[in-house]
Each structure stands twice: as C-alpha cells, then as structure tokens.
Amino acid sequence: MSFTTSIGLSRGQMVVAIAGATGNLGSSICPIFLTTPFKVFFSRVVVITRNADTERAVYLASLGAEVHRVPAGFQNGLSSKEALRTALRSVDVLINVLGHTAESERFAGELVDAALDSDVAVYFPSEFGVDHHLNDFSTYDHGDWVYKREYDDRCRNLVSQRRKNMKIIALYVGLFMEQAILSLVEQPISVTPVGFDNKHKIYTSVGSPTQNFTLTSKEDIGRALIAISIRAMSPSEDIPDHLRIAGDTVSFEDVRDTVKRHTGVDVDLRSEDLGHYRSQLKERWERGDPQRPSAYIRAIMGESKLNFSESNDNELINPDQRIWKWKTLDEYVRDHKDDILKAER
Ligand SMILES: NC(=O)c1ccc[n+]([C@@H]2O[C@H](COP(=O)([O-])OP(=O)(O)OC[C@H]3O[C@@H](n4cnc5c(N)ncnc54)[C@H](OP(=O)(O)O)[C@@H]3O)[C@@H](O)[C@H]2O)c1
C-alpha cells in the first residue's frame, strides 16, 4: 500500500498517547500531533503526566490534548497502574519519551504492562538518540544504554509471552539538532557537552573533524513518529523493529564553515586522539567515576557510529521528502545566528 493510501485510510482514526509529553523532546513533538497538517489523523491525543497543572501540560490541553494525570506510585487514592489503564483505554499508538532516572525506569515498566493490557497496537520505547547496538564499550558501556537494551528486550519478550500483537518500534535519530551545536533548551548554553564551545570559538572533535554525524530536529522527530505510526497501523505494512532517521549529517568542519557563513565568526577546530579518549573513559569507569552519556557520544561520533547518512529509513518514512522537508543544520544556524553571536560575548 502506498503512503498516500495509508494516509487516506488513517484520517481521523488513530488515538495516540504520549508519556513524557511535557519534557524536553515531548514538548516539541506533542504540538505536531495537535496542529495542522497532522492533527487530522488523530481522533484523540492523550498526554500522560504526573502533574496536569504545569504550564506545559496546560498548554498542550489548550491545543486539544486530553491530559491524564498518572501519579508516580500511589497518591491520593490513585495508583499509577489504575491511572495508566484509564489513560490508555482505546489507545492505538503509545509513544514513550520519558527521561531516564531510576524512578522513571519503574514507570516505564508499568507503561509497557498497561499498554499490553490495553491492546495498544504500536509502542515506541524511549530511544531517540544513538543506535547503541553499535556501541563497543564492552564492560564500560554507559548505564543508560545498558538499560535501554534491557528494556527493549523485556518489552519484546513480554509481547511474545503474553501472545499479543503489539508492534515495538525503536527509533534512533542521532543528536537533537537544537542541543548539539548551541543548546537552546530553556536558555542558550554556549558550550555543548559534545565539543562545541561557541563562547571561546573552539570546536573540539574526538577523532577526525571530518567524521560525519547525524542531527535531527525535534519537530522532525515528531513528524517521523506520525508517518511511522500511520504506516505501522496499516495491516498490510511490515515496518522494521528498529528504524533510523537522519535529518542532516555533517562533520565538525562543516559546522565550522556553516557558522562562518552565517555569522562571519572564525572558529578554531581542534581534535583529541580517539584511542586515548576511549582509554580515559574506561579508566574513569573502573575508578567508579562514570561519565555522562555525552562523553561517550563524543567517542561514538569519532568512530562514525553516529553517521546515519548511508544507513537510514528516511525514504521509507518520508519518500522523496514529499511529506515534509527535513530541517538542515544550515537552516538551524541561519535561524539562530544571533544566539551564536550572543554566546561569543
Ligand atoms: N538524541 C539526543 O540528542 C537526545 C538528547 C536528550 C534526550 N534524548 C533521549 O530522548 C528521550 C527523552 O528525553 P528527554 O530529555 O526529553 O526527557 P526529560 O525531559 O528528562 O523527561 C521527559 C518527561 O518524563 C517524565 N518523567 C520524568 N521522570 C519521571 C518519573 N520518574 N516517572 C514518570 N514520568 C517521569 C516527565 O513528565 P511529567 O513531569 O509531565 O510527568 C518529563 O517531562 C530519552 O530517551 C533520552 O535519552 C536524546
């Protein structure tokens, strides 16, 4: 079935629920489901949050979301399990964009159980980053990815143990475009943890600065989730269990040249030796001083494992960019050149 046919058939028929919709990624993707041109595909958009009174939750409700408060654990006579079952009633597609903490791990466990009880058809676990199956940190891999792999396995095992048909789709997107080069989450952060120091005009790669890495804008992740959901809900479609998208793919050199083109600023490019960097990561892990995921991501970028340009599912999801045009880094830098210039002062 062509994508256009799938789109025609799914108009207004799907119910989607988003857990974590008020968060960093969630607050960018959820409005895409609730506004033109995509809102016509959904009869309901359910938001699952611990607090329905936050500014973000109230904003999503004002766009038409059905906001469900699901407490962490048990509060005021309401348990998270019961509340989840109510929130997921008649839901076709469940998108998990929870951040990762010990407490959210427990909640993510309840989420998949409730999704199976409610006969959800398509479930996206909270991935949305590197394809960590390519990682080769062996004993010192970061705990976030160890957890993500275990959670993915657990969800798939539950589907077969409980003889359900829920389709689980893991979506890998590279870096969020809005956070990699100049972080604009809450307020501009001029030095990003993956090596872009706009304040001092120094970009430092681990490994070669010509190595490419993928960035995808958060709104494009929302559009991709919608396009994948439409296809996955069609009985004749066979969507892979793991998908990669690549909004844009660039190198440190490309970023330097793009910033120069739009701001006139000269950035100094430096690089760290990849082998030495990896042995430092390992040493720190062994000393009981594990680094943040971003420290690992710098090595992954240097190994070209975050380069999804040759191996991605863009054409399956958005053939010939007919549904939307992927945002490029050039457009992002052009639109935020003032923030980059401000960061330099
Ligand atoms: N590729 C990249 O560059 C990149 C960057 C950052 C994150 N990521 C990935 O994107 C995904 C989403 O991350 P994020 O940064 O958007 O997450 P986040 O903002 O930290 O959290 C999202 C939401 O999760 C809910 N939540 C948090 N703790 C919870 C708990 N204990 N129980 C229940 N709900 C809880 C909160 O919603 P309520 O308060 O409304 O309940 C929060 O707004 C993750 O898988 C992360 O690894 C990728």
For 104-158, the DSSP string reads: HHHHHHHHHHHHHHTT-SEEE-S--S--GGG---GGG--HHHHHHHHHHHHHHHH
Tracing tokens 């949305």 back to the chain, one arrives at 128
Compute the average pLDDT of residues 178-190: 69
The residue nearest atom 37 of ligand 1, judged by CA position, is 20
- Going from the Cα of 134 to the center of ligand 1, the distance in angstroms, rounded, reads 23
- Going from the Cα of 119 to the center of ligand 1, the distance in angstroms, rounded, reads 24
Ligand 1 nearest atom to the CA of residue 70, by list position: 41
- Going from the Cα of 235 to the center of ligand 1, the distance in angstroms, rounded, reads 31
Stated pTM of the model: 0.95
- Going from the Cα of 97 to the center of ligand 1, the distance in angstroms, rounded, reads 6
- pLDDT digit string (tens) for 19-59? 999 999 999 999 999 999 999 999 999 999 999 999 999 99
- pLDDT digit string (tens) for 299-339? 999 999 999 999 999 999 999 999 999 999 999 999 998 88
CA distance 115 to 111: 6
Name the residue with higher pLDDT: 6 or 334.
334
By DSSP bridging, strand 122-124 and strand 268-272 are unpaired
Output the average pLDDT for the chain. Answer: 92
Which residue type sits at 307? N
The residue nearest atom 35 of ligand 1, judged by CA position, is 104
Q: Is the peptide bond before 319 cis (omega within 30 degrees of 0)?
A: no
Residues having CB closer than 6 A to ligand 1 are: 20, 22-26, 49-51, 72, 97-101, 103-104, 107, 126-129, 173, 175-176, 179
The residue nearest atom 30 of ligand 1, judged by CA position, is 104
Residue 258 banded pLDDT, cuts 50, 70, 90: very high
Residue 102 banded pLDDT, cuts 50, 70, 90: confident
CA distance 194 to 205: 8
Ligand 1 nearest atom to the CA of residue 297, by list position: 3
Q: pLDDT at position 12, please?
A: 65
- Going from the Cα of 80 to the center of ligand 1, the distance in angstroms, rounded, reads 18
- Going from the Cα of 105 to the center of ligand 1, the distance in angstroms, rounded, reads 11
Provide the 3-class DSSP secondary structure of residue 284: helix
The residue nearest atom 20 of ligand 1, judged by CA position, is 99
Ligand 1 nearest atom to the CA of residue 54, by list position: 40
Residue 269 banded pLDDT, cuts 50, 70, 90: very high
Top mutation candidate among 98, 103, 147, 298 for ligand 1, by most atoms within 8 Å of CB: 98
Ligand 1 nearest atom to the CA of residue 144, by list position: 47
Provide the 3-class DSSP secondary structure of residue 178: helix
